[in-house]
Every structure is written in C-alpha cells, then in structure tokens.
Amino acid sequence: MLAHSAALLADGQFWSLAALILVGLFLLAYAAFIVAAFISSLASELEIGMKLVWALFIFCAPFLGALCWFLIGRKHAAATALR
C-alpha cells in the first residue's frame, strides 16, 4: 500500500485527485449557496410578487442574484416585515 501511495505521488496523480476534490467541494458550496438563497427568498415575508422577482433574479443570474439577496434582499424583507 505504501509503495502504491509513493507511486501516486511520483506520477502526479495525487495532485490531480486533490484538485478534483477541491473543485468538487467548491461546486458543492456554490450550489448550496444558490439553493439557500432561493429557499430563503421564497420563505421571506415579502409579497408574492417580490418573491417571484427575487426567485427569477436568483435563477437567471445565480451568483449575483444570490449575493444580492443575502446582502440587500433579506434586510429589505426584514424591514418590510416589521412595518
């Protein structure tokens, strides 16, 4: 087993596997970020029209939409709920 591990290190396959795992974890975190924003926007106290606008924005521009939701939309939704 040790000889096999040394062969993996020598061939560079270890770094390829490590890079693949790292990219997989990044993509998983990216997908979780978008799904969390989508669910959070739909579960907010906003009116149904604004929920639809946010959901479409998150769907059409996933990273930017989710980022804007967490930075701007949630605060606006919380302020609207307090009124």
Kindly list the averaged pLDDT for each block of 10 residues, start to end, along the chain of length 83: 61 83 97 96 92 95 95 84 65
Q: What is the pLDDT of residue 13?
A: 82
Q: Fill in the amino acid letter for 76.
A: H
Q: pTM to 2 decimals?
A: 0.76
DSSP type of residue 61: S
Which residues, 6 or more positions from 77, have their beta carbon under 8 angstroms from its beta carbon?
44, 45, 46
Query: Where do the structural domains in the chain lie, given as residue ranges?
Result: 2-82
